[in-house]
Every structure is written in C-alpha cells, then in structure tokens.
Amino acid sequence: MSAQQIPNLNTLKGALRPGGRVRGGRLRDQTTSHEAGEDGEARKDKVVQQTDGDASMSRMSAVDLGYLEDPFARPFIQVGTYVRSSAIDLLIGKFLATDANKPKQIISLGAGSDTRFFRLVSQSPSLPIVYHELDFPINTAQKVAAIRRTPRLLSTIQSSLSQPEDLKISSSGDSLTSPTYNIHPLDLRVLAGDQSAPKLPELPNLSSSIPTLLLSECCLIYLSPTHADNILQTLTQRIIAPSTPVSLILYEPIRPHDSFGKVMIANLAARGIHLQTLQKYSSLFRQKTRLKNAGFVGGQGAADIDFCWERWIPDDEKERVAGLEMLDEVEEWRLLAQHYCVAWGWRNGEGSQDEDVFSRAWAGMESQRNDEGEDDG
C-alpha cells in the first residue's frame, strides 16, 4: 500500500501513541467537583456516556476533510472515520438492497450522535426502513435537542414519513418516535436481566417480525461480557421473534495483547475507559465464535480495518481519499487499523418469507483469515 492510499486517521492516533497526547481533555474538564459525590458506578457510566463525544469528533473531522459525505454530522459534535464508516455502510447497503422493497429494521445499540439514519434517508427518502437508536437518556436527550433545533434534521425525518405529525417527542425530551425513526432512552443493561422476567422495556414501533440488523459500533465493548451476551440474547430471542432473520454488525477494538494493543489499553485506562469485553473477544476468530455462540449461525465474518481498506474500498475511492491528505506515518496507521475490526453474523428466519435475506446480502463479503495460530475453522 502506498502512503498516498492511506486515509487520515489522525484523530485517533494521539490516543494510541505511546506517551502520546491523551485525547478528550474535554472528558476531564467536564468531570468537575460536583461529581465528587457520585458513586463509582455513576462515575464510570459518565465516562462511557462521554465516549460518544470522541466518536463524533472523529466523524466530524472525516467529514470536514472531505472523506465522508455526511452533512448531517455537523449539528453534532462527533466524528467517525472513513474506513470504518465505509465498511459498515457497505454491509448495511447490501442488506437494504436485498429485496429492496420489503421492510427492514435496524437497531443501533449505543448510537450516540451517529447520523447514519439521516444519510440513508437523504439518499433514498422512500426506503422501507424502521430505524431504532438506543442510548442512555442523557445522550438521547442531547440528540433529540439537536434534532429539534436543526431544521435540516427535522425535515429529513419528516421526508421519510407519510404524515409529518407521526413524529413525536416525549415531554421529557429524551425520546423520539415515528414509524421510521426512533430514539429510545435506555440503559442497555436493563436488557441483560433475568431472561425469564416477564417485563421488557417498551420500545415503540419496534417490530419483532421484520428482518432486523443489530449494530454495535463501539458500544457492547463497554459492558461486561455477561451483560453484553445477555443483551444480545434478549434482543434476538425475546424482543425479536426467534423465527425472524437477524444479524449483528460489531465494530470494536481487538488484539490487546501485542505491544501496540497494550499501549492502547493503557492510554484508554488513563482516561478511565475500560473496554470490558476486549480480553474475551480479542481476535477475529473470537469475534466470529462469539457471533456463532450468540445464535448468528447462518454465517459469520470478520476483518480488521486495515484489511477493509485494502480489500473493500474500491481503487477509485482510495485515490479520491488519497488526494485529500496523506498520512505521514503509514506504519503507525496500519498498526492502528489492525487493532479495530468489523465482525458480522446472521441467523436465517425459519419459514419466514425473507428467510435467507442476510445470506444473500452478504454472500460476497470477503472475510479475513484468522490470526496466525488460531483455529481456521
């Protein structure tokens, strides 16, 4: 790979470089003395909630530099990175394009201020999609407020509705519902409770029977492995009917055991950020096994971001990105990119009309070989 083909991921580098600048001073600034009285759990939650600010800062810089076409990211303070967004967009695009006229559902866990719904709908307003975002109430309230004060965001949601008045915002301001786009204020750990408990939280407009894609972009990694696994079980067995085709796309760090991974963890720990599932799901192989064990038995794939750049991004797109800015330290970028992965898996629906929608959508997606020494099976 030539240096000219590398996108600028500088926004992430500082956080990962040994002895490098610790990004997100904002986090510290905001953790002021009034929080001194908060208990340890609340403090830890606050750090996790504020990771959304980091994600959106990365997204904004990718947009500002011209890598991503996402005018909707502007009203939020956040950013994602070019390759990660493109890789996930590719998987989602293939899902939406398969049986394109049939309804589909996306549930984004820990969506924060992500703007993917707005991008999708602005590209095709009549997309038959129901989109749900789940996050802590403190984050959903910020997002709903941003939508309220931004005509462009409001009108994009309305363009997806047959009746504009179907868009409703709760009096508490932390929830937004409509037949197409929904923001639900929810601590996901509520879904990790006793699997036989009769009561589940109310999630308006969520269908249990249409093909559903679950998305966790750096979200489940902040939960304990038991919580993360139980949440998936509740979603795929109780909230979505067991006969409905369901998939999961994960984007999260991997490979914590090499020297770069150790620095990455140490620097995040210095900011109070603990990636709780990283040890358990530390490799491409472990991520695929995780997906299989969680019931996504139709198929699984995984690739690190370096691989996605090399193999998934078309050459003309690489050239376009390379024209925007060069990365000064190619090897550092590659190392960084090798420590983030996209993993995907699905189950087919038994007897459902759309039974094999994910198998068809993702048949051609190139998965990466497992790390050396891992089981290739």
Q: What character string, x for contact with ligand SAM (CB under 6 A) and - otherwise, covers 186-205?
A: -xxx----------------
DSSP string, 150-162: -HHHHHHHHHT-S
Backbone angles phi, psi at 114, to 5 degrees: -55, 145
Q: Among residues 8, 81, 132, 135, which is the contact residue for ligand SAM, using CB under 6 A?
A: 135
Q: Is 70 in the site for ligand SAM (CB under 6 A)?
A: no
What's CA 69's distance to the chain center, in Å? 18
Q: What character string, x for contact with ligand SAM (CB under 6 A) and - otherwise, covers 245-284?
A: ----------------------------------------
For residue 317, the minimal CB distance to ligand SAM (Å) is: 21
Which amino acid belongs to residue 42? Answer: A
Give the residue with the Cβ less far from ligand SAM, 250 or 291. Answer: 250
Show contacts with ligand SAM in window 281-320 (CB under 6 A): none
Residue number of the CB atom closest to ligand SAM: 110
Backbone angles phi, psi at 342, to 5 degrees: -110, 130
Query: Which one of the spans 183-191, 293-301, 307-315, 345-353 is the region binding ligand SAM (CB under 6 A)?
Result: 183-191
Q: Is 44 in the site for ligand SAM (CB under 6 A)?
A: no
Q: Is 331 in the site for ligand SAM (CB under 6 A)?
A: no
Q: Is 110 in the site for ligand SAM (CB under 6 A)?
A: yes
Strand ranges of the sheet holding 129-135, from the earlier edge strand across to the other edge: 168-169, 176-177, 181-185, 129-135, 104-109, 212-217, 246-253, 340-347, 299-304
- CB atoms under 10 Å from CB of 5, counted, come to 17
Q: Is 174 in the site for ligand SAM (CB under 6 A)?
A: no
Residue entry with tokens 């894609």 = 213
Query: Which one of the spans 150-158, 216-224, 302-310, 354-362 is the region binding ligand SAM (CB under 6 A)?
Result: 216-224
Query: Do 195 and 214 form a contact (C-beta atoms < 8 A)?
Result: no
Q: Is 60 in the site for ligand SAM (CB under 6 A)?
A: no
State both tokens at 109: 């866990």
Query: Which one of the spans 91-99, 120-128, 129-137, 197-205 is the region binding ligand SAM (CB under 6 A)?
Result: 129-137
Show contacts with ligand SAM in window 79-98 (CB under 6 A): 80
Q: How far is CA 323 from CA 30, 230, 315, in A?
A: 37, 45, 12
What's CA 268's distance to the chain center, in Å? 19
Q: Among residues 72, 117, 136, 344, which is the contact residue for ligand SAM, using CB under 6 A?
A: 136
Q: State the DSSP H helix or E strand holding residue 347, giving kind and residue range, or none if neither.
A: strand 340-347
Reference 61, options 114, 5, 10, 116; nearest CA is 10
Does 217 count as an annotated binding residue? yes
In the three-class reduction of DSSP (H, G, I as helix; E, B as strand; rest coil), residue 215 is classed as strand
- Which residues line the annotated binding site for S-adenosyl-L-methionine? 84, 110, 187-188, 217
Residues that bind ligand SAM (CB under 6 A): 48-49, 51-52, 55, 78, 80, 110-112, 114, 134-136, 139, 187-189, 217-219, 222-223
